[in-house]
Amino acid sequence: MTTAGAQITPDSPGAATGREAPPALEVRDLVRHFPARGGVVRAVDGVSLTVGRGEVVGLVGESGSGKSTVGQCVVRLDTPTAGTVRIGGVDITRLSRRRLRPLRKDFHLVYQDPSASLDPRMTVGRIVGEPLALHRMATGDALRERVGELLSQVGLRPEVAARRPHELSGGQRQRVSIARALSVDPQLLVADEPTSALDVSVQASVLNLLADLQRDRGFGCLFITHDLAAVEFLADRIAVMYLGEIVEQAPAAELFAAPKHPYTQALLSAVPVPDPPAQRARERIVLHGDLPSPVLLKGADPKKAVGDCRFHTRCPLAVERCRTEAPQHRTLPGGRQVSCHLVGDDGTAPDAARP
């Protein structure tokens, strides 16, 4: 296999300097606003997160919180309104298509619905081999051989290479998109709800496959999901999104053991615990009302619009200050990040189950 073509390295133009290898992904103050009738949709409003090399970071939050918009900006299928995205230390936020093309081998997106993301006219062999050919990493027999290896790594037989996507099951199609994404050995995989369009019976096997491949190959992964059990299984660290912002970020085990933000406490209270006495002891926190609209109406004072905690309309613990002052994103001892007025600097936190 030949390995020509540009790639992201810490020495690339724009790369961070310093001895330590830069993280697979670094997102700083990311903003994505969409124009809307009568105002602007604040889909993402100041998100910062890092995915270390070989680290899996889960991005969770309810529908409409902005998770996919973050994912789309990270892989530059969308361009942020403000902020920066660095892959392996290289700032790709505003690179032109032409300059981005050779760098695309370093980050890939696995979509929710494999049927929509795979070209129905192409054979599986071409789909999986295309990135290798595009980046001139293999041709001819070497390319065919590599495609066969990749199919076997995702648990598919070599004969599948001659089939077309519609001849495969949903689980097999998602395996094909994973093989395609990993064909060029990216530093970062963004997986946006990779199992939610699949039959429940095959979801676990695809998650296990992702976990095995990640362990063997050591790529960084931003894993976007609603499925808290999946994120607990797969992620090293978890970032919780609410209405365009990250409200809490912590190592997965710490977050599950002791969520500090009232929204995280509510989200996790819905996850079943395997131990029945612990389950009985844990109170389910029911949030009332829907996620508020992220639309900022024309003429609204943007300062006033951000002058509150976005969760205050549903927070069981909200106090007057929450309606008039946005909480700062603070880093607590141990590295957990949280934004809530009621969480102390030493990490003491109120319990949303007992307001």
Ligand X SMILES: Nc1ncnc2c1ncn2[C@@H]1O[C@H](COP(=O)(O)OP(=O)(O)OP(=O)(O)O)[C@@H](O)[C@H]1O
Angle at 98 between CA 92 and CA 100, to 5 degrees: 25
Distance CA 216, CA 218 (A): 6
Residue 327 binding: pick among ligand X, ligand SF4, Mg ion, none (C-beta 5-8 Å cut-off by kind): ligand SF4
Q: Nearest distance from residue 89's CB to ligand X, in Å? A: 26
Q: Among residues 152 and 293, whose Cβ is nearest to ligand X?
A: 293
CB of 67 to Mg ion, least distance (A): 5
Our CB check for ligand SF4 shows the closer of 42 and 173 to be 42
User: Given CA atoms 125, 129, 133, 138 in this order, what sign does their dihedral have?
Assistant: negative
Cβ-based nearer residue to ligand SF4, 84 or 269: 269
Task: Pick between residue 128 and residue 266 the one whose CB is nearest to ligand SF4.
Answer: 266
The Cα–Cα gap between 331 and 324 comes to 22
206 vs 318 by CB, closer to ligand SF4 = 318
Name beta bridge partners: 49: 27
* Paired sense of beta strands 237-242 and 56-60, if any: parallel
Shortest distance, CB of residue 40 to ligand SF4, whole angstroms?
A: 23
| DSSP-assigned letters across all residues of 4-47 | -S----TTSTT---SSSPPPSEEEEEEEEEEEETTEEEEEEEEE
Based on the shown chain and the rule CB under 6 A, indicate whether residue 225 belongs to the binding site for ligand X. no
Which residues, listed in sequence order, are joined to residue 86 by a DSSP beta bridge?
Answer: 26, 91
Residues within the interface to Mg ion (CB under 5 A): 68
Q: Is residue 43 a contact residue for ligand X (CB under 6 A)?
A: yes
Please list every residue from 171 through 200 that binds ligand X, using CB under 6 A: none
Q: Is 69 in the site for ligand X (CB under 6 A)?
A: yes
User: Measured at the alpha carbon of residue 63, what is the angle toward residues 251 and 259, in degrees to the nearest 5?
Assistant: 30
Verify binding: residue 64, ligand X, rule CB under 6 A: yes
**Chain positions contacting ligand X, by CB under 6 A:** 34, 36, 41, 43, 61, 63-69, 226, 294
